[in-house]
Amino acid sequence: METPESDSVRDRLAIVRERVDAALRTAGRSPDDVTTIVVTKFHPASLVRELFHEGVRNVGESRHQEAELKVAELSDLDLTWHFVGQLQSKKARKVREYARVIHAVDRESLVASLGGAGNPVDVFLQVNLTDDPARGGVQPAEVGRLADRIESTPGLTLQGLMAVAPLDAEPRRSFALVRELSERLQREHPNAVNLSMGMSGDFEEAILEGATHLRIGTAITGNRPAIG
């Protein structure tokens, strides 16, 4: 199906950029404080190339096989790849070959698999704001222990916390909780100042609560193609 010109990727990107800037102004924060990662999962490499031509440099993927193919196809572009999805330990070393940042680190076995010689990688520790372990992330009480483990693992640099706001809660409250957890974390890990939070439906609330890394997909890319 054709999308009308007024609803192009370029237009959506411009609108999201304006909304990000507006939320930053409301929050009294500097535009330099935030990195917008465009999540391109299920979209073809050609769309990533188009985004690159619109000035996008940070892209996010959540499935290894798909990401690996796109990275290879786009190796001529100076892109920073973020792995934002749940990651199986057995794929960790492969993902580390192309991803500069891994956003959903949530268990010691994954930390162990990611660590060691190779490209240094930045990691976010994912916090689970629900009671459902299938959502990924550690419970808030476990943050300190996993952070210690990440920091003591060669090759990994702890950037801060990552979270997905639960659907059944007010996003701003969820993000405020993450901010509190981050303040606590920074007492022991003063460099772990970043917050990866905010998606298409809630990035403004995330900015108001201090998000530094937004993971925005459909608001920019349009709906994801059906999985075939």
Ligand X SMILES: *Cc1c(COP(=O)(O)O)cnc(C)c1O
Rounded to the nearest 10 degrees, the angle between the axes of helix 9-27 and helix 45-53 is 60
Q: Which stretch binds ligand X (CB under 6 A): 73-81, 94-102, 165-173, 214-222?
A: 214-222
Closest CA to 201 of 16, 21, 5, 1: 16
Among 71, 199, 206, 211, binds ligand X (CB under 6 A): 199
- CB closer to ligand X, 98 vs 116: 98
Among 82, 179, 189, 215, binds ligand X (CB under 6 A): 215
- 206 part of the interface to ligand X, by CB under 6 A: no
Contacting ligand X within 46-85 (CB under 6 A) = 62, 84-85
- CB closer to ligand X, 120 vs 201: 201
| Beta-carbon count within 10 A of 16 CB | 18
Q: CB of 192 within 8 A of CB of 160?
A: yes
Q: Which stretch binds ligand X (CB under 6 A): 21-29, 68-76, 149-157, 199-207?
A: 199-207
Burial 20-58 (b: 16+ CB within 10 A, else e): beebbeebebeeeebbbbbbbbbbebebbbbbbeeebeb
Q: Which residues, in sequence order, are CB contacts of 181 under 8 Å at separation 6+?
A: 127, 140, 143, 161
State which H helix or E strand residue 195 sits in.
strand 194-196
Give residue number: closest CB to ligand X: 217
- 153 part of the interface to ligand X, by CB under 6 A: no
Which residues make beta-bridge pairs with 101? Answer: 82, 122
- 160 part of the interface to ligand X, by CB under 6 A: no
Rounded to the nearest 10 degrees, the angle between the axes of helix 171-188 and helix 143-151 is 50
Q: How far apart are CA 160 and CA 221, in angstroms?
A: 26
Q: Which stretch binds ligand X (CB under 6 A): 12-20, 94-102, 183-191, 197-205?
A: 197-205
Min dist. Cβ of residue 192 to ligand X (A): 19
- 87 part of the interface to ligand X, by CB under 6 A: no
Contacting ligand X within 161-180 (CB under 6 A) = 164
Q: Which stretch binds ligand X (CB under 6 A): 10-18, 182-190, 195-203, 205-213?
A: 195-203
Min dist. Cβ of residue 224 to ligand X (A): 7
- 130 part of the interface to ligand X, by CB under 6 A: no
- CB closer to ligand X, 165 vs 208: 165
- Strand pairing category for 194-196 and 35-39: unpaired
| Residues found near ligand X in the complex (CB under 6 A) | 39, 41, 62, 84-85, 164, 199-201, 215-219
